[in-house]
Amino acid sequence: MSEVLTRDETDSASRPARRRPLRLPAARTATGAACAVLLLALPFYVDRFWLQAGLFAMAAAIGAIGLNLLTGATGQLSMGHAFFLAVGAYGYCVFAADGGDGPAGLGLPAWLAAVLAVAVSGIAGGLFSPIAGRLRGAYLGIATLALIFIGQHVLFNARDLTGGFNGRDVPPLSLFGLTFDDRELVVANVPFGSAEKLWYVGLLLLLGCGLFARGVLRGRPGRAMNAIRDHRIAAGVIGVPVARYRAGVFVLSSMYAGLAGVLLALVFQRTVPDYFGITLSLDYLAMIVIGGLGSVAGAVAGAAFVSLLPQLLTRYSDALPLVSDPGTGGIAPGEAARYLYGAAVVAVVLFLPGGLVRLAARLRVKPRPGVRVTPRPGATEGEER
């Protein structure tokens, strides 16, 4: 199972890396099709644990794509990504819940609630734009820390909306009369619970988000964003409205985070404020650094790595040395995973600038001079000072 997922991620990782016309279209299409079939067939063969792990990875991938647009492609460090995930997750709950008992709710149709939640995340990002448009680098990074603390404060205190410390239940998604809850629906002798059904929603959303971000990155806005990252003043001189772009990317990235939040909430089926702390923001930064800054595939690869690693370690903790069950005094799987990806962040920047995507590209083709597969993560704002 794990090997299946790895194969999938390396393939999707290699896709946007190409810059020239397809070199092996037939082989590429074939691999792509095989992976697509595999991903579509998984819910029929794999148990719930892995489906949930996969869904977390998908949600994380959507969020990481958003952060990569902001931090990787535009060079704006954000530590407040978890805040926008929270806005998405809780926004969905507030719009979709019927508000009968417990926290407030508007009782809107679930799909509309999801759309509105994403919109609200975007608005939250927009409200921060006076800061996001003007600050850069470390200043923005620390200013966005404020969002985390403001978010935590609101989540713990606005009990009517968020349920306070204990969080609130997430109403299931329903679409075209199909409800994505645990009421079983049997498809081809396989019972379809919420994880199985959501799997397809997650795939679809991830595909859409990935394609959209790729379009943004490859088109005119992407060039402008990279220009801002590489040389802000030069970009301004060419005619890129720097502040507007920075604010705009911030809004877009918060909408991605909002969508990731909605999907996470749907998978968790309950949202609690503790989850949306600073650790989560750091996890997302780790994802894009490990996967590769500035590319969609990098975000997906990094998200898969960071979010599947703890699950893998948990599942196989008995068989692994040094890892023991939580509470027994040894290194718990979650901690072991954090050690690994903390070290991975440090090592990737040192040995593999460009992240996992670069590694995949390097394995696939022999490096040719003059072909830069992924943008160098570093080239940001050092020159201006």
Partner 1 sequence: MSTFAELLLNGLSLGSVYALVALGFVVIFRATEVVNFAHASLLLAGGYVTATLHDDIGFWPALLAGIAGAALVGAAVEFLVMRRYRGSDQSVLAIVTIGVDILLTTELTRRIGTDVLTPGDPWGDAVLTVGPVSIAHTRIAAFVTASLLITVFLLAFRFTSWGVAMRAAAESPETAALMGVRLGRVSLGAWAVAGGLAAVAALFLTVFPTPGLERATSLAALKAFPAAILGGLDSTTGALVGGLLVGVTESLATGYQSDLTFLGRGLGDLAPYVVMVAILLIRPAGLFGTKELARV
Which residues make up the interface to partner 1 (CB under 8 A)? Answer: 75, 77, 130-131, 134-135, 137-139, 141-143, 145-146, 149-150, 153-154, 156-158, 233-234, 237, 278, 282, 285-286, 289, 331-332, 335, 338-339, 341-346, 349-350, 377-382, 384-385
Min dist. Cβ of residue 14 to partner 1 (A): 24
What are the CA-CA distances from residue 69 to residues 40, 252, 264, 339 (Å)? Answer: 27, 8, 20, 26
Q: 197 or 338: whose CB is closer to partner 1?
A: 338
CB-CB contact of 312 with 347 (8 Å): no
Q: 98 or 160: whose CB is closer to partner 1?
A: 160
CB-CB contact of 302 with 291 (8 Å): yes
Rg of the chain (C-alpha set):
21
Nearest CA to 8 among 44, 58, 77? 58
Distance (Å, rounded) from C-alpha 207 to C-alpha 193? 22
Min dist. Cβ of residue 324 to partner 1 (A): 12
Q: Is the dihedral of CA 111, 262, 42, 301 positive or negative?
A: positive
Name residue 186's beta-bridge partners: 191
Q: 272 or 349: whose CB is closer to partner 1?
A: 349
Q: 128 or 180: whose CB is closer to partner 1?
A: 128
Min dist. Cβ of residue 92 to partner 1 (A): 22
Q: What are the φ and ψ backbone dihedral angles of 255, each rounded to 5 degrees?
A: -70, -40
What are the CA-CA distances from residue 265 to residues 61, 169, 198 (Å)? Answer: 15, 9, 11
Min dist. Cβ of residue 207 to partner 1 (A): 28
Min dist. Cβ of residue 304 to partner 1 (A): 18
Q: What are the φ and ψ backbone dihedral angles of 191, each rounded to 5 degrees?
A: -70, 125
Min dist. Cβ of residue 99 to partner 1 (A): 21
Q: 27 or 233: whose CB is closer to partner 1?
A: 233
Residues in the chain, total: 385
Q: 23 or 153: whose CB is closer to partner 1?
A: 153
Task: Retrieve residue 141's tokens.
Answer: 């990074």
Distance (Å, rounded) from C-alpha 165 to C-alpha 26? 53
Q: 191 or 342: whose CB is closer to partner 1?
A: 342
Q: 38 or 154: whose CB is closer to partner 1?
A: 154
Q: 193 or 334: whose CB is closer to partner 1?
A: 334
Min dist. Cβ of residue 162 to partner 1 (A): 11
Min dist. Cβ of residue 359 to partner 1 (A): 17
The packing angle between helices 278-291 and 81-96, to 10°, is 120
Distance (Å, rounded) from C-alpha 82 to C-alpha 253? 11
Task: Retrieve residue 237's tokens.
Answer: 């001189």
For residue 212, count other CB atoms closer than 10 A to its CB.
15
Q: 119 or 135: whose CB is closer to partner 1?
A: 135
Min dist. Cβ of residue 328 to partner 1 (A): 12
Min dist. Cβ of residue 338 to partner 1 (A): 4
CB-CB contact of 217 with 298 (8 Å): no
CB-CB contact of 318 with 309 (8 Å): no
